[in-house]
Amino acid sequence: MTYVPLHVHSLYSPFEGMLSVRELVERAVFYGMPAIGLADHQTTYGHHELAREAAAAGIRPVFGAELSHASVLGAGGVFHLTAFAETDAGYRNLVALVGLHDAGGRERHVSLEDLERHAGGLVVLTGCMRGEAAQAVLHGNLGRERQAVERLAGIFGDGRLYVELQYHNDEKEAFVNENLLRLAASLGLPVVVTNNDRFLKREESEHFRILAMLGGERGEEEPRYGEPGEYHLKRGKDLETFFYTVPGALDASGEIAERCDVSIGRRGRIVFAPDPDPDDTLATMCRRRSLLKFHGRGAGEEARLETLVARELASAACCGASGYLLFLRKLFLYCAESGIWLEVAGGDLLGSILAYLLDIVPLDPTGHGLVCETFAAETGAPPALDLVKSKGTRDRFLGILAGLLPACRIQYLVVFERMGFPTLVKEIAGSVEMPSGILDELVRAVGTLRRESSLAEMLETSERLRQLYRAEKTVRETLHAAQSLHGRAGRFHYTTSRIAILPAAAGREIAVLRAGGDERFAMASAETVAALGGWIVGVQHSHYLLALEKSVAAILGKGGRSASGRVVDRGLSGRWAPETLDDPETWRLIGAADTTGIFGLESQGIRDLLLTIRPDSFDELVNVISLYRPAPLEGNLWQKYIENAEKKGRVFLPHHSLAAPLESTRGLLLFDEQVREILSLSAGITGDRAVAVDRALRTRRPGELSRARLEFIHGAMDRDVDEEEAQKIFDFLLYAIPFTHARSLSVFQAYLGYRIAFLKAHFPVEYLAQLLNSNFDVRERSDRYAAYMSGRGIVFFPPDMNKSGEEYLVEAGGVRAPLRNLAFLDVTEREAIVEERARGGEYDSMRDFLERLAGRIDYATAGTLVETGFFDDDGRPRDVLMDECDAVFRGEAGALFRAPIVPRAPASKRKPDDSGQLDLFGDDEG
């Protein structure tokens, strides 16, 4: 039997391993290994990736995890145990154990009861040097060593417990191994050799040391026994020298791999619509709605649109996506009925004509250069979707999803986020002895490189980085370490902005963690969710949408008319939109970069770009947003965009076939859709072949790129394009494609930004007041928006006893501040004021207010309310009101007030100025 590495830590053991799953499998194939194991610490995150890579390579995957558990003897401490799934049932138990790791102690761990309940179908090793048996030996408690192993054997049964041996040139390990071997012999237990593999090659040991150091407290997980260089991925012959006296211990790893026969993958699919014939239902609905939406377009245009609809209906039917679209329409309708403003913010549906006909997306994709090739049959999974919804509606949204998909498991997602190159450079440089001036320069030089690229490309791009690299040894060491760790260092984090929806059966193959309360998080990548037949929904919680929704509702409540005569009207979909994209006042506001409070257009960088280009049409705004992305900014494409405008169409292009696709972007390649159009026009490459060529251009893998080039050249020559010109077109695509992205994303951002700009141009006070309401809990934004409003001459009135609630209110001449701006009022006092007003009607006077709130508002608070202007509508001067307040609390008004008079607190940091207005934002956020 051949040795198989089992106890392997990939990069999904954050700061404990730096092996990617792909290179792990590739190295196993290179070494001629029949199988490879993966036992990441407290996670099964990499298992489905291992299943895919191992299947492609023709080797057996062995799925395991290094568990942390409380002492099986009831003693203190947390120990390690290496477990592998022998059967499908065992895999479900392994997943369950990973999900049961809680934070009850210093280290997340499972209990003895958890191990006993989920022991079936697992093959278990006694663990590394942090196993309970090894620790007992190290501490000289040999009796406890035996008890621990006997207890584990009792939990997992005969033949499923192996005594694990490891050696990394350390005397302590040799001592532990000697005692464990003696114990295994006396108990009749098999032994197995593992190596605790953490990186690929011995020469990477220094970079692994740096990785462990970056983990901070997690750096303790760096091997504390043996030489760090010994933790590279080893072959059996590398270990024979240490274990030749233990017959069969190396071969036992292969035996374990052979007995572990687990199949993971698709376990069903989501049934989105119970309709018996969703294809027919969708076709009937879309054809009927297309007659309404496209009426009057002209015979030729209507025929073209009818063809597009028919083509996409066929694509949806082929991929089983018809029920998915019907479900989405229902989701959007239910959200609208529940008061949730929901919009598609990303994904292929932004370019779907069917989604437009169903009111899922608000803009007609055929009028904005979007490609209607939405549905692909590659995975059989529904298209991923990014949504943006109004802030503060999370629970309602999840309730609607659960109601529409009762047979599914709905959880948030645990995301593994790799550290970017600039972050790695900064953290590594900060931990070595580097002069502070050099460190600052290095961080600045790397920070200007917005695109992820190789170190060689960075040095070629940045003159200052090149100078630092040549002059400073520590800079060279830092950059090489960052390059080695790039893509290998990352962290898991819990996110509520990604939702995983899985068929019930598939959910048992993913560990689900709790992060407090009832929130559950699936520990799986997006690729894994798709491979299991699930669906990923990205959800942004937008304060812009909340402000948009509330301001539209407020405007509609007042008749929906501004001073300029503009009328706001909410369409059938429940999402308001202006009637035209050519409103002059809106474009004046955007062109002047007066974009504070406007989605996607607030940052100083894009405002500078708006002032430079001064867009006056929707398509040009889409271009500006696309130019303000990292890759185009790094390539200075905005300068070329401006220069090309001055050339009045006389822009040099490799071939005339590029003129039409690039006309709208002044000769620049900015969008994925343009790439597809060029492939079609120049070489007749469409559909799946266009997807393959596009992928080859982006990945630049030599074999795929060569095949793509040949296919393009042959296709272009078939269209009478000269071979040399065809080569130039392909080279142009190869050079420019890194600057491209989906036009649909920029269209969405531009459309949401335009709608908000329209509101701000015609209903500025209404929109900005709601923007303050939606950002009250974010100090930086609320301060900035309030300062902007004051700069525009919008008057802030102080909170008032009869007018103020918990939100800003628009009044003639300005905005009324809410009760929560009064930092000296606590929540119960604010609630008492509002509840009493709702119960007994408006307060007639300050005296009426004080009498009705007797016992709930004390003397100090009442005096401070007078000073802030809270009772100004009483009609009397504040000094008179203060005297009356004193009289009331001294008992001259009767026996209502029995609280003693104490010196009043200052009127808080929100002191009234001479105009009676309020400094809205003091140090206390209220």
| DSSP secondary structure letter of residue 579 | S
Average pLDDT of the residues in 216-242 = 77
Average pLDDT of the residues in 899-912 = 40
Give me the long-range contacts of 285-288 (CB less than 8 A, separation at least 24).
Answer: 285/326, 285/357, 285/358, 286/313, 286/354, 286/357, 286/358
Per residue in 501-540, pLDDT (tens digit) is 988 887 788 898 887 667 889 999 988 888 888 888 999 8
Phi and psi (nearest 5°) for 885? -60, -45
In this predicted structure, the answer to whether residue 709 has a pLDDT above a threshold of 60 is yes
Sheet containing 520-523: give its strands across. Answer: 342-346, 385-390, 535-542, 490-503, 408-418, 520-523, 512-514
For the chain, what is the mean pLDDT? 86
Sequence-ordered alpha helix ranges (H) in 338-472: 353-357, 394-404, 421-429, 436-447, 455-461, 463-471
Amino acid 401: pLDDT: 93
Average pLDDT of the residues in 736-756 = 91
Extract the tokens encoding 203: 């020469």
Phi and psi (nearest 5°) for 898? -115, 0
Per residue in 838-891, pLDDT (tens digit) is 999 999 999 999 999 988 999 999 999 999 999 988 888 999 999 999 888 887
| DSSP secondary structure letter of residue 157 | -
Q: How far apart are the first and last CA of the chain?
A: 70
Cα separations (Å) of 537 from 323, 346, 387, 413?
16, 10, 7, 10
Amino acid 671: pLDDT: 92
Extract the tokens encoding 745: 């994303």
In this predicted structure, the answer to whether residue 918 has a pLDDT above a threshold of 80 is no
Of 231, 224, 225, give the one whose Cα is nearest residue 206: 231
Average pLDDT of the residues in 207-212 = 90
Amino acid 627: pLDDT: 94
Per residue in 574-632, pLDDT (tens digit) is 578 888 899 999 999 999 999 999 999 999 999 999 999 999 999 999 999 999 998 89
CB–CB of 697/737 below 8 Å?
yes
Q: Is 219 helix (H, G, I), strand (E, B) or coil?
A: helix
CB–CB of 276/28 below 8 Å?
no
Amino acid 903: pLDDT: 42
What is the C-alpha to C-alpha distance for residues 793 and 630, in angstroms, rounded to an integer?
Answer: 36
Beta strand 520-523 with 60-70 is unpaired
Average pLDDT of the residues in 328-340 = 89
Return the ∠ at Cα 378 (arms to 373 and 383), rounded to 5°.
55
Of 549, 508, 284, give the one whose Cα is nearest residue 409: 508
Per residue in 758-797, pLDDT (tens digit) is 999 999 999 999 999 999 888 899 999 999 999 999 999 9
Q: Scanning the structure block, which residue is given the tokens 């597009």?
A: 308
Q: Scanning the structure block, which residue is given the tokens 């025929």?
A: 303
Per residue in 447-463, pLDDT (tens digit) is 766 555 678 878 877 88
pLDDT more than 70, % of the chain: 90
- Whether the CA torsion 606, 607, 612, 615 is positive or negative: it is positive
CA neighbours within 13 Å on the CB side: how many for 233? Answer: 27
Q: Scanning the structure block, which residue is given the tokens 């998909």?
A: 405
Phi and psi (nearest 5°) for 317? -65, -40
SS3 content of the chain, % helix, strand, coil (to 5): 50, 10, 35
Of 598, 571, 508, 405, give the one whose Cα is nearest residue 85: 508
Amino acid 771: pLDDT: 93
The continuous run of DSSP H or E covering 624 comes out as: helix 618-627
Point out the least confidently predicted range of 135-139, 567-571, 757-761. Answer: 567-571
Average pLDDT of the residues in 469-494 = 89
- Whether the CA torsion 582, 583, 588, 590 is positive or negative: it is negative
- Max intra-chain CA distance, the chain: 102
Angle of helix 702-718 relative to helix 723-736, nearest 10 degrees, comes to: 140
- Any residues with CB less than 8 A from the CB of 764 and at least 6 apart, and which? 792, 794
Of 372, 914, 881, 382, give the one whose Cα is nearest residue 673: 372
In this predicted structure, the answer to whether residue 725 has a pLDDT above a threshold of 90 is yes
Extract the tokens encoding 910: 């929100």
DSSP codes, 105-144: SSS-BB-HHHHHHT-TTEEEE--STTSHHHHHHHTT-HHH
Sheet containing 191-193: give its strands across. Answer: 35-41, 60-70, 78-85, 122-125, 161-165, 191-193
Name the range with the highest mean pLDDT among 372-376, 667-671, 914-918: 667-671
More confident residue, 559 or 573: 559
Q: Cβ–Cβ contacts within 10 Å for residue 777, how many?
A: 12
| DSSP secondary structure letter of residue 199 | B
Using pLDDT thresholds of 50, 70 and 90, give the confidence band for residue 921. very low
Amino acid 562: pLDDT: 53
In this predicted structure, the answer to whether residue 892 has a pLDDT above a threshold of 70 is no
Q: 238: exposed, middle or buried (C-beta count within 10 Å: 0-12, 13-18, 19+)?
A: middle
Amino acid 376: pLDDT: 56
The continuous run of DSSP H or E covering 839 comes out as: helix 827-840
Extract the tokens encoding 464: 């200052």
Of 164, 169, 160, give the one whose Cα is nearest residue 121: 160
Q: Scanning the structure block, which residue is given the tokens 């509101």?
A: 759
Of 55, 10, 44, 62, give the one whose Cα is nearest residue 510: 44
Amino acid 222: pLDDT: 55
What is the C-alpha to C-alpha distance for residues 766 and 576, in angstroms, rounded to an integer?
Answer: 15
Amino acid 426: pLDDT: 85
CA dihedral 788→789→793→799, nearest 10 degrees, is -140
DSSP bridge partners of 493: 415
Amino acid 897: pLDDT: 43
What is the C-alpha to C-alpha distance for residues 171 and 530, in angstroms, rounded to an integer?
Answer: 48
Amino acid 911: pLDDT: 38
Per residue in 426-450, pLDDT (tens digit) is 888 877 777 778 888 888 888 766 5
More confident residue, 369 or 451: 369
Using pLDDT thresholds of 50, 70 and 90, give the confidence band for residue 219. very low
Give me the long-range contacts of 136-143 (CB less than 8 A, separation at least 24).
Answer: 137/175, 137/176, 137/179, 137/180, 138/172, 138/175, 138/176, 142/179
Per residue in 254-296, pLDDT (tens digit) is 999 999 999 887 767 888 888 889 999 999 999 999 988 888 8
Per residue in 821-839, pLDDT (tens digit) is 898 999 999 999 999 999 9
